[in-house]
């Protein structure tokens, strides 16, 4: 048992780490809502088009989750165990591998934008598809800087520094809105302007994060020369942890991609309703984006330092607080459903349909918050295969079949998409909680 002084020190460190993450993600969600409003002024279908393209990019980003999550898990464990030289090598090799793979993916996605989106947006109207393609091509130019920024940010948080990523995110968000207004409203570049806004802000974010990491010598010193020399043993270790996380994320996002395809097949109005609910869900799900990096970093460092009981205790606190916050935000959205939906559409039918379904966000995000709090803690302990197995099983055996049944057999429309996913999330949350709190097997994995 830690002494009272040690316990207070742990709480103080965790609080100092968590507050910047809360501020960072709150601002990011707010800016996302503002940016979505700017996008909605382009055309009646722009929000659906850009939302669909964003889901494709999120799927592509999920492929590189093997790098961001693998880096975060290893660096947090290595710093907790005072293996600073190994932590430096992990980050250097993650950067090298990230540059090579993201540039290749960027070129491939830019070239094949039309067939990719045609495949993921079946039965889409020509205008909707063309808007999505124009935006997607510009968006993919930002892929290398996005992933490199994510790798660096995850490593910095693993060192216990959440303030620097917060500052960088604030700057990026300001640039995103500024460039978005310039390109879309002033220069009239429409969907291309929306994509260029991401290119500019993500480049700024990467440069800032790279300078911060290169100047921070508290735990290790990075060397540019090492970033161009492959060390296959380190890359193998990185992929050993990261690939299960990447596969889990890829197939999970593929589920979201297929669900979005089903929403497109329901018609343009239903697709718009789905995107409005997804936009509001990002607000309700704000605690999820906070607890995921917080849980992984805090629990990872405690496990690396051998403080097993403390890691479980802190993890439980994180879960309870995040779920409570998500429920509160969902209630706020339900109360103000109609005015919130009116922000993103001028069509009375779309607003009425979306506002009548806001209640599903409470159920959807309740279970989602448990998962996004619990699963990163399991990953921090190296229990990546269990998380991967449960995610893939329930997404493909529960969520997707139920989505089809609810949407096209029972004709529940957009509600069917969210209800199917809520059931999927409920099963995943239950299995994760049992794994986490009923035994210590998950704490005995090697990474």
Domain boundaries, the chain: 4-444
What band does 206 get if pLDDT is binned at 50, 70 and 90?
Answer: very high
> Lowest mean pLDDT: which of 88-102, 115-129, 256-270, 405-419?
256-270
Greater model confidence, 394 or 19: 394
How much is the pLDDT for 377? 75
Residue 6 pLDDT exceeds 70: no
Give mean pLDDT, residues 336-353: 86
Crossing angle of helices 126-140 and 46-63, rounded to 10°: 40
Residue 435 pLDDT exceeds 80: yes
Give the tokens for residue 385. Answer: 């295969």
Greater model confidence, 349 or 385: 349
What band does 24 get if pLDDT is binned at 50, 70 and 90?
Answer: low
pLDDT exceeding 70 applies to what percent of the chain? 84
Residue 338 pLDDT exceeds 70: yes
**Spatial contact of 14 and 298, defined as CB atoms under 8 Å apart:** yes
Q: Tell me how far apart the alpha carbons of residues 397 and 446 are, in angstroms, rounded to a whole number.
A: 30
Give mean pLDDT, residues 402-409: 88
Length of the chain, please? 447
How much is the pLDDT for 196? 92
Residue 14 pLDDT exceeds 60: no
How much is the pLDDT for 440? 67
Give mean pLDDT, residues 236-257: 75
- Short-list 417, 388, 389, CA closest to 401: 417
Q: Cβ–Cβ contacts within 10 Å for residue 11, how many?
A: 12
Query: Per mean pLDDT, which of 114-118, 269-273, 313-317 is the most reliable?
Result: 114-118
DSSP for 412-442 reads: -THHHHHHHHHHHHHHHHHHHHHHHHS-SGG
Q: Is the pTM of this model over 0.75?
A: no
Give mean pLDDT, residues 245-261: 73
What band does 90 get if pLDDT is binned at 50, 70 and 90?
Answer: confident
Residue 106 pLDDT exceeds 90: yes
Give mean pLDDT, residues 169-183: 87
Residue 419 pLDDT exceeds 50: yes
Give the tokens for residue 265. Answer: 């097949």
How much is the pLDDT for 104? 94
Give mean pLDDT, residues 32-60: 75
Give mean pLDDT, residues 185-200: 87
Buried b (16+ CB within 10 A) or exposed e, 398-432: bbbebbbebbeeeebbbbbbbbbbbbbbbbbbebb
Give mean pLDDT, residues 48-59: 79
Give mean pLDDT, residues 406-419: 88
How much is the pLDDT for 1? 46
How much is the pLDDT for 447? 54
């Amino acid at each position: 048992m830690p002494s009272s002084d040690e316990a207070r020190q742990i709480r103080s460190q965790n609080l100092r780490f968590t507050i910047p993450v809360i501020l960072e993600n709150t601002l990011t969600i707010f800016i996302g809502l503002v940016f979505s409003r700017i996008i909605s002024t382009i055309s009646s279908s722009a929000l659906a088009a850009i939302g669909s393209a964003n889901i494709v990019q999120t799927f592509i980003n999920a492929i590189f989750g093997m790098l961001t999550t693998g880096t975060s898990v290893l660096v947090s464990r290595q710093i907790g165990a005072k293996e600073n030289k190994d932590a430096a090598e992990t980050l250097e090799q993650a950067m090298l591998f990230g540059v090579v793979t993201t540039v290749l993916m960027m070129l491939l996605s830019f070239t094949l934008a039309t067939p990719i989106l045609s495949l993921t947006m079946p039965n889409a109207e020509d205008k909707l598809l063309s808007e999505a393609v124009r935006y997607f091509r510009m968006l993919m130019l930002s892929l290398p800087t996005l992933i490199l920024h994510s790798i660096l940010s995850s490593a910095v948080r693993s060192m216990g520094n959440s303030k620097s990523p917060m500052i960088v995110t604030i700057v990026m968000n300001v640039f995103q809105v500024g460039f978005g207004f310039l390109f879309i409203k002033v220069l009239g570049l429409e969907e291309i302007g929306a994509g260029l806004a991401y290119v500019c802000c993500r480049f700024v974010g990467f440069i800032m994060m790279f300078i911060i990491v290169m100047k921070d010598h508290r735990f290790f010193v990075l060397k540019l020369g090492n970033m161009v020399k492959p060390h296959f043993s380190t890359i193998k270790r990185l992929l050993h942890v990261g690939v299960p996380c990447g596969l889990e994320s890829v197939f999970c996002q593929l589920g979201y991609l297929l669900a979005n395809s089903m929403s497109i097949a329901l018609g343009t109005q239903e697709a718009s309703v789905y995107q409005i609910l997804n936009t509001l869900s990002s607000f309700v799900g704000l605690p999820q984006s906070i607890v995921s990096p917080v849980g992984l970093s805090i629990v990872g460092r405690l496990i690396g330092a051998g403080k097993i009981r403390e890691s479980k205790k802190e993890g439980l606190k994180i879960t309870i607080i995040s779920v409570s916050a998500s429920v509160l935000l969902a209630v706020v959205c339900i109360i103000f459903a109609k005015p919130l939906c009116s922000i993103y559409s001028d069509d009375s039918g779309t607003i009425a349909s979306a506002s009548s379904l806001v209640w599903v966000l409470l159920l959807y995000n309740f279970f989602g918050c448990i998962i996004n709090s619990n699963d990163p803690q399991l990953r921090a302990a190296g229990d990546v295969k269990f998380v991967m197995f449960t995610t893939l099983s329930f997404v493909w055996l529960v969520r997707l079949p139920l989505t089809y049944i609810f949407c096209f057999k029972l004709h529940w429309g957009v509600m069917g998409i969210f209800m199917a996913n809520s059931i999927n999330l409920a099963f995943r949350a239950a299995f994760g909680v049992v794994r986490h709190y009923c035994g210590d097997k998950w704490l005995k994995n090697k990474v």
